[in-house]
Amino acid sequence: MSTTEYTSAGAAPLLEVRDLEVGFRTQGGLVKALNGVSFTVERGETVAIVGESGSGKSTTAAAIINLLPGSGQITGGQVLFEGRDLAKASRRELEDVRGKLIGFVPQDPMSNLNPVWSVGFQVEETVKANGLATGKRAVRAKAIEVLKQAGLADAEQRLHQFPHQFSGGMRQRVLIGIGLAADPRLLIADEPTSALDVTVQRRILDHLESLTEQSGTAVLFITHDLGLAAERASKLIVMYKGKIVEAGPSLEILQNPLHPYTQRLIAAAPSLASRRIQASGQHLGSISHAETGSAASVDLIAAAEERVEAVTPGLDGQVRREPSIVVENLTKVFKIRSGGFKQVEFKAVGDVSFSIAKGTTTALVGESGSGKSTVAKLLLRLEDPTSGRISVQGRDIASLRGRQLLSLRRTMQPVFQDPYGTLNPLNNIGNTIAEPLKVHGVGDRTSRRERVFELLDQVSLPRVIAGRYPNELSGGQRQRVAIARALSLKPDVVVLDEAVSALDVLVQAQILRLLADLQGELGLTYLFITHDLAVVRVIADNVAVMQKGRIVEAATTDEVFDSPREQYTRDLLDAIPGAGIKLGI
């Protein structure tokens, strides 16, 4: 099956991929990563490939310029770039094409600049390699021009600096500059902003868009975020298990997804769900959402509705709920050694106050470095505050010692971000979940075993998993285990520190739904810490927005989304991918 048959006839496309197959050599033989992928990119067009991890989207990007990692190889098909087949091109021909005709912006700005060379040197290297200028002066001048174009205003001064002196966003700008240095006809951007804060992401993509528009460069944009893809590209390609399952105009696909997998993705994308809630202009519970059978288990809006139904009575003010957590004037100052014996004070959290009513969810939102995770650590008594008061169910936690601290820990449990670091790899799942019970001396061996099974049922994992080890589980399953461990002591409060941020959207939607179900069932109070405002819309009752250690705005979720008071909040809201899409709902 090829999509090319359906594109409008006329001039040959810039890039035409035909039945591309890629395999990776492993001990068990050749494993296919791409299974006959076909698509076209026209001149000056922006095309986005969307998919989850393992769908083959990055492999496709790498295969186009024949930069497959390690044991990967193209096993079939063609990559026609301006009529030339890059899949069969020699190394010399490819080097000619890379950089000059096809630019590449890699995913991770942290590891894709060489830390031992100055930024200027690395840009000059590109300039020289592509023969854009000759002579020391000209090369330098071109490098400065490239960086200025990429949005580094003080390029002359920063040329001598090293990558570690640049922020993540700055580094990504440098990489974009390098990618666009030679005015290529096609730019491949592989998740160019997924490691960055949303506001930075927005600025960088805006800038990239204006640059490529000016020069007429076509962009192949690889992302996991459907909202982002639809916002930035005119054409969408949805990949699943090494195949293209759906392709077409972005808006058309968003509004009328035909393949069940695409329908699922759309139902699970927080940015789109948030957008749909916003577009409806109604309170949750009265939104009609495109319910499809296969998408039901991951539909965020449905999950949000159920949650609201289960929790709402308290929100409407009919029942006044007592606060479960009260934080007053919380401050945390870290002392950082700055060479020698000097210490510099760094205020991670400054004068933060909020309270969370029993059985509700408060989201603490902020970008990296805003101090949101430090608040979580202080609340969990993993760190001690410099000043301020935290009380949990009426008890001031600062003074608790020994037994009392142990009983506090029983009422409050965390779930952390990294699914790969959150479980001890040497303990099996059963022991991991039972550990809090052992620490608190709850029950005997058999009753603990029963409780482990009960918890596994609650997080929808099969019981046999109790004898297995973490490395056999996917990220989402590990997060479920972490949730089960947190629930084992029947806590009242669960602190979720970026608990769904590292997961693929479908898995993320599933976990969000699980959390919502558990809250309704067990009356849990959540402190939900996240950088993703879109997720907040479907899970939280109240939102506190943090910036540089302070809470700049706190209100109910609807208020924050519908009428934000602070500019910063507005920036954050605007930066949610998909905010620019006109949805006809």
Shortest separation between residue 126's beta carbon and another protein, angstroms: 29
Q: Cα(201)–Cα(582) distance, rounded to whole angstroms? A: 20
Residue 515 three-state SS: helix
Three-class HEC string of 84-120: EEHHHCCHHHHHHHECCCEEEECCCCCCCCCCCCCHH
Q: In whole angstroms, how far apart are CA 14 and each of 46, 82, 191, 368?
A: 12, 5, 22, 39
Q: How far is CA 356 from CA 60, 304, 396, 525, in A?
A: 46, 19, 15, 8
* In the complex, least distance from residue 219 CB atom to another protein, rounded to whole angstroms: 18
Q: Which helix (H) or strand (E) holds 238?
A: strand 235-240
CB atoms within 10 A of CB 484: 25
Helices (H), 488-539: 505-522, 533-539
Residue placing its CB nearer to another protein in the complex, 481 or 543: 481
Least CB distance to another protein at residue 417 (A): 7
Query: For residue 387, how many other CB atoms are within 10 A of its CB?
Result: 11
Q: Output the smallest distance, CB 163 to another protein, in A.
A: 23
Q: Which is nearer to another protein, 1 or 116 (CB)?
A: 1
What 3-state class would DSSP assign to 301? helix
Nearer to another protein, 368 or 424 (CB): 424
CB of 345 to another protein, least distance (A): 19
Specify the residue, 495 or 573, whose C-beta has the smaller distance to another protein: 495
Minimum CB separation from another protein for residue 239, in Å?
Answer: 10
C-beta closer to another protein: residue 126 or 479: 479
| CB 49, CB 239: distance < 8 Å | yes
Q: Which is closer to another protein, CB of 198 or CB of 245?
A: 245
**Considering the complex, what minimum distance in angstroms separates the CB of residue 462 from another protein?**
6
Cα separation, 582 vs 61, in Å, equals 29
CB closer to another protein out of 138 and 258 = 258
The upper half-sphere exposure of residue 65, i.e. CA atoms within 13 Å in the direction of its Cβ, equals 23
